[in-house]
């Protein structure tokens, strides 16, 4: 199990990005973690754990985002899973 922390910048707030992330994680399956808007108004942070293959598929989808999003910059950090999450949820 691995962990990835992704910060996505651009038009990613107020476009349904967090819901998109939840639905996509559920569709791929085997992914747990969180998604939240950061206070700068243009960044979303995703922390996800799962199998590397699932996380890479998830990352590919996150780079695209929902229809009205425009992802301009993606920063990914990989690490070891902590197993602290149960499911994939939005942090408000």
Q: Give the residue numbers marked as catalytic.
A: 18, 37
24-30 — which CB contacts under 8 Å span 24+ positions? 24/58, 24/61, 24/62, 25/58, 25/88, 26/88, 28/54, 28/57, 28/58, 28/61, 29/54, 30/54
């Amino acid at each position: 199990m691995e962990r990835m922390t992704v910060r996505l910048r651009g038009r990613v707030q107020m476009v349904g990005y967090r819901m998109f992330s939840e639905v996509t994680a559920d569709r791929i399956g085997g992914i747990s973690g969180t998604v939240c808007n950061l206070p700068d108004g243009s960044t979303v942070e995703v922390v996800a754990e799962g199998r590397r293959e699932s996380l890479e598929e998830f990352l590919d989808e996150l780079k695209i985002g929902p229809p009205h999003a425009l992802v301009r910059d993606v920063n990914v950090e990989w690490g070891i899973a902590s197993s602290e999450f149960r499911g994939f949820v939005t942090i408000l």
